[in-house]
């Protein structure tokens, strides 16, 4: 059966999201990719901190001091994020939403938050402020004003689910990209693997796996002569100031996405710690 290449692109979770598939017909490709984009939209509605009516924001309002049952997808991502926060002593932290929102404003105005405002936001962050109950599939927040943020893990998870949808439609030769996160299935019919262009130049290959890139080399702002990245260091509450690029290669997108984010904060010295917890994952960090 002859397969043709089809490529589509839509904005999802705030980023351009191209999907490339090899399919026997355009109609099958369109139907499958439409379903994949729909699945990403469903996950966005559950996990977005931008959407006021998202499930994540509902948890932030309704789980203060009491248990709130959540969807299976949201609970799993929160559980993975909380586990990584424990493993990294908070270098990766899903409770930094108050700091992220403060930093977005700082980047917009090109002014650092004043110390009192920063201190108040830091008091509302810290992974120990979030409790999870697997038996009840519920979340509880231990303080008022805790804002959850899954920006460093949800896109990889969404790519995983999009690939599953494509497979259900019989399309196994596929690539999904959301910003710095890429997940692939089987390779193109005329190649042993997908060829992936790297942001810093050159290329690599990927097949049936995930590749995520995170760092301070592209999105940043200069304030007072200091270059701050868009990635928050939960330990300071500010954007990363060191020039760093982290890349993680894993079996699935949720692992690659979250580990690339954690590695960008921890730096090269944190690679051994991450690899002890996640066997078989390849992590590369460039500092300079």
Half-sphere exposure of 208 (CA within 13 A, CB side): 4
- Residue 153 Ramachandran class (φ > 0 left, ψ -120 to 50 alpha, else beta): alpha
Percent of the chain with pLDDT over 70: 98
Residues 6 or more apart whose CB falls under 8 angstroms from that of 284 comprise 246, 247, 248
**pLDDT at residue 197, as a whole number:** 95
| 166: phi then psi, degrees, rounded to nearest 5 | -60, -40
pTM score, two decimals? 0.95
pLDDT digits (tens, 9 = 90+) for 229-250: 778 888 888 888 878 899 999 9
The answer to whether 86 touches 68, Cβ cutoff 8 Å, is no
DSSP state of 281: -
| CB distance 101 to 118 below 8 Å | no
Please say if the pLDDT value at position 140 is more than 90.
yes
pLDDT tens-place string over residues 41-81: 999 999 999 999 999 999 999 999 999 999 999 999 999 99
Query: Could you read off the pLDDT of 174-193 as tens digits, one per residue?
Result: 999 999 999 999 999 999 99
What average pLDDT does the segment 282-286 reach?
96
């Amino acid at each position: 059966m002859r397969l043709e290449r089809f490529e589509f692109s839509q904005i999802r979770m705030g980023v351009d999201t191209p999907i490339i598939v090899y399919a026997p017909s355009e109609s099958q490709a369109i139907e499958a990719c439409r379903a994949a984009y729909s699945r990403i939209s469903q996950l966005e509605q559950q996990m977005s901190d931008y959407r006021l009516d998202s499930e994540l924001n509902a948890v932030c309002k309704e789980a203060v001091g009491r248990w709130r049952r959540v969807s299976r997808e949201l609970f799993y991502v929160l559980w993975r994020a909380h586990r990584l926060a424990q493993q990294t002593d908070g270098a990766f932290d899903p409770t930094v939403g108050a700091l992220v929102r403060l930093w977005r404003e700082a980047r917009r105005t090109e002014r650092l938050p004043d110390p009192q405002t920063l201190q108040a936001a830091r008091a509302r962050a810290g992974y120990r402020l979030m409790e999870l109950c697997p038996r009840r599939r519920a979340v509880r927040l231990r303080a008022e004003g805790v804002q959850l943020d899954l920006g460093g893990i949800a896109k990889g998870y969404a790519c995983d689910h999009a690939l599953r949808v494509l497979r259900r439609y019989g399309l196994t030769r596929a690539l999904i990209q959301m910003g710095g996160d890429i997940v692939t299935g089987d390779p193109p019919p005329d190649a042993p693997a997908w060829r992936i262009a790297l942001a810093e130049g050159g290329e690599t290959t990927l097949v049936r796996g995930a590749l995520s890139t995170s760092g301070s080399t592209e999105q940043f702002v200069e304030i007072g002569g200091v270059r701050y990245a868009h990635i928050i260091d939960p330990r300071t509450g500010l954007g990363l100031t060191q020039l760093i690029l982290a890349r993680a290669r894993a079996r699935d997108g949720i692992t690659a996405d979250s580990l690339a984010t954690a590695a960008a904060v921890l730096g090269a010295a944190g690679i051994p710690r991450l690899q002890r917890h996640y066997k078989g994952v390849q992590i590369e960090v460039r500092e300079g």
